[in-house]
Structure formats: structure tokens, C-alpha cells
Amino acid sequence: MPKKKKRPARGLYILLLIAVLAMMAVGIALALRSGSKVPVPVPVATAPPVMTTAATAPVRAETTTATTTETETEAVTEKALPPGMVSGIRLSFYHATVYIGDPAIMPLVLMEPEDAFDKSERWESSDESVAVVDESGNITGVGEGRCIVRVTSMSNPEVYAEVIVTVEPAPEYRTTPAMSTPSRETTTMTVDEMRKDINVIGGITYVQGVMIVNKTYPLPSSYNPGGLIPEAAQAFSDMRAAASADGIYLFSHSDYRSHWSQVSIYGNYCSKYGQEAADRFSARAGYSEHQTGMTVDVNWPGDAFNGTAEAEWLEKNCAKYGFIIRYPRDKEEYTGYKYESWHIRYVGKEWAAVITGSGLSMEEFFNVPSIYPEG
């Protein structure tokens, strides 16, 4: 009988297989170590827009994609400022058309941060043959042309803001510009360093073509449309007729007031209630919307009018005729005035629909302040 050949033990085959696999693993590890790294995918991150002021160093706001590749990144560093140091300046306007012979105009200066310890400022004109500016920021047109008026922080001279001033001869006739209309793309504006939508023409401020008068933006004392402007007068007449058809009686208790009428009215309120209280419901001369010829106090200008059938009808329907409730409920921090259900302002049907539909006050909608200048 032939002898059987001995077969290698099964365990030997297993050991050889393990050894081969181990050698392959070491080889792969060495290859990866000497080669390039494999990119690891990460979620996409977008950087929010960075808002700057005219007085701060420009910061570029871009949408970026975050990755973990070994590419160089640009380090952005900002110069640290001592606590309380002025870091930025914002103005109530950056463009102005001044007529020769008109009273001076003055932008409101807002220095940042609010608790800066030294807010003193220096004013200068790039061409005093065109416009001059005094130490308080009053800009006066001298001769035809264009120049730049700059305000600089005294405590931090690297911080400044500028107004582009165009000086023109006074027009022979002055009329209230026709109502502008909102474009389809109109949205609430965001304050930035160059509000091109704000223009001061002959001492009157327009935002997107709408005349703005509040505690920040005054009218020249000489401005006098002679009463309600024709568009506002006709709109109010149409609204009265519609209200009457609904059994509601509306009338104008007060509409146009001259600068000098407002001097007397405001002074009487201050004598009776004190200036702090008066400033919540009466405007200082020059800062009154009544001087625009676009404002009406309906029926009774007092809190007794709030909640009446007439007030409710007015709030619900005035926008159809081009008016807005100028000082809405719970908006005093923006408008500077308490709720006045009787005080309506004509802006035209298109603007009235947009502003009323937004639920915002005029100051919020156009993103403008309403703060009296200091001093």
C-alpha cells in the first residue's frame, strides 16, 4: 500500500495569509503618508454682509466657501482703539445742493460709539470759494461749483465723514416738487456710508424723492407753499366725501402753518407743559411737518380723538387717498412723537400704500433718524 503524502497544516495557510495582509496594509500606509492629503468635505459657510461707515476703513464683505485645504488665508486685523475712542461717524446726509443766498444747512453728526468720551469735531471745506462751513457744521453756499465738506473727529483724526456740496444760483421760481413714486424694487433702506437716496436741495431733504421733515431734517424758515399743496388739498376733499358717504364727518382742524406760526404754537406749549413734554407732541419751529403744506390735523388734535369711529375710519382708509398716519402707535422711539391718530401726511397714493402696508413709521421705512441736534 502506497504511503500518503503529508499535507501542510491548515494553520500554516492562515498564518501566511495574515502576513500577506499585514504587509499590504503597511505598504498602503506608507504610500498615503508620502502622498498628498485627501480633501475632507465640509459644510458651506457664507459670511454676512459687513456694514461700514464713511469714517471707517473699508472692509470688504464677500460670500466665501469654507474648506480645510492647505491654502493660504488672508488675515484681517483691525487696529485696537482705546475704550471710549470715536471709531466712526455717520451723517444725516452726504449730498446737498445749496442755493446761493439761502440760509446755511447742517447735517446731523452721529459719532460712534455712543459712549465715546470726546465727540468734539473739526469742519473744513475743500474749496471756500464754493462753500464755507463754520465750527458747528453750518454749510453756506458762496459761489457756483462743487466741493467737499469734511467733519473729522478731534480725538481720532483718522475718522471722518464727508458731504458732497453742489452750489447753484437760486432759481427764479421755487415750487414744491411733484410727488415721487416708489419703484417696484423699493424696500426699506439700509444705512450705509453714502446714502445716495438722501438729497438736500435748497435746504429741503428728500429721501427717494419724498420730502422728509422731522427732528433731524428741518425746513428753511422761508419755505412757504401758501397752504396745502394742490395734490394734498384735492386728496383730502376726496377723502372727506368718501367718509361722508360712510356716515363719518371729517374736517381739517389745522393744516399749513408758517415757520413763524409754529414759533408761537410751540412756545405756548412749552410755557404750559414744559419743553420735555411739549417735544413729544409739538415740533420746534422749522421742524414742523405742518410747514410742508402736506399735513392735516383731522377733527380734534388730542388724545380724545383716539379710538373714535372717525379715527378708526381714517386709519383704515387714508392710504387710499395718499395719506399716512404719520405718528403711528408704539413708534415714538423712531418718530420722536407719541401716537397721533389725527395727524396725517400726504405722500401720494403709491407711497401711502407701500409705507402703510409695511407696518412701519416713515422713519423706519426710509431708515432715517428723528433726533434734535444737540444744543
Question: pLDDT averaged over the chain?
Answer: 82
Q: Nearest CA to 289 among 264, 256, 263, 315?
A: 256
* C-alpha span between 4 and 7 (Å, rounded): 9
What integer pLDDT is reported at residue 183 of this predicted model? Answer: 64
**Omega into 113 within 30° of 0, i.e. cis?**
yes
| Phi, psi angles (nearest 5°) of residue 168 | -130, 160
* C-alpha span between 308 and 312 (Å, rounded): 6
Q: pLDDT tens-digit profile of 22-48?
A: 666 656 555 555 444 433 332 323 333
Q: Which of 83-92, 115-124, 305-314 has the lowest mean pLDDT?
A: 83-92
Q: Which of 10-14, 74-78, 120-124, 255-259 has the lowest mean pLDDT?
A: 74-78
* C-alpha span between 359 and 319 (Å, rounded): 12
Query: Long-range contacts of range 55-60, CB-CB < 8 Å, 24 or more positions apart?
Result: 55/88, 55/89, 55/90, 55/153, 55/159, 55/160, 55/161, 55/193, 56/87, 56/88, 56/159, 56/193
User: Cβ-count burial of 187 within 10 angstroms (0-12 exposed, 13-18 middle, 19+ buried)?
Assistant: exposed
- In Å, what is the CA distance from 78 to each residue of 52, 58, 97, 239, 364? 13, 11, 36, 57, 31
Cell numbers 399716512: residue: 324
| Phi, psi angles (nearest 5°) of residue 350 | -65, -50
Statement: residue 355 has pLDDT above 70: yes
Q: Mean per-residue pLDDT for 105-129?
A: 93
Between strands 95-99 and 160-168, the pairing is parallel
Between strands 131-133 and 139-141, the pairing is antiparallel
CB 236 within 8 A of CB 252: yes
Look at 190 and 220; give whichever has higher pLDDT. 220
Sign of the CA dihedral 106, 108, 113, 115?
Answer: positive
Q: Residue 196 — pLDDT band, cuts 50, 70, 90? A: confident
Hey, which residues does 198 pair with through a beta bridge?
A: 207
| Phi, psi angles (nearest 5°) of residue 179 | -60, 135
What integer pLDDT is reported at residue 25 of this predicted model? Answer: 63
What integer pLDDT is reported at residue 308 of this predicted model? Answer: 97
Q: Residue 9 — pLDDT band, cuts 50, 70, 90? A: low
* C-alpha span between 197 and 210 (Å, rounded): 10
Instruction: Mention the CATH class of domain 219-366.
Output: alpha beta
Cell numbers 466657501: residue: 65
Q: pLDDT tens-digit profile of 120-139?
A: 999 999 999 999 999 999 99
Hey, which residues does 125 pair with through a beta bridge?
A: 149
Q: Mean per-residue pLDDT for 269-297?
A: 96
Instruction: Mention the CATH class of domain 89-173.
Output: mainly beta
Q: Mean per-residue pLDDT for 360-370?
A: 96
CB 363 within 8 A of CB 214: yes
What integer pLDDT is reported at residue 178 of this predicted model? Answer: 66
Report which DSSP code applies to 208: T
Q: Find which of 40-44, 71-75, 112-116, 347-351 is predicted with most confidence, using mean pLDDT.
A: 347-351
Domain range summary for the chain, segments of one domain joined by +:
89-173, 219-366
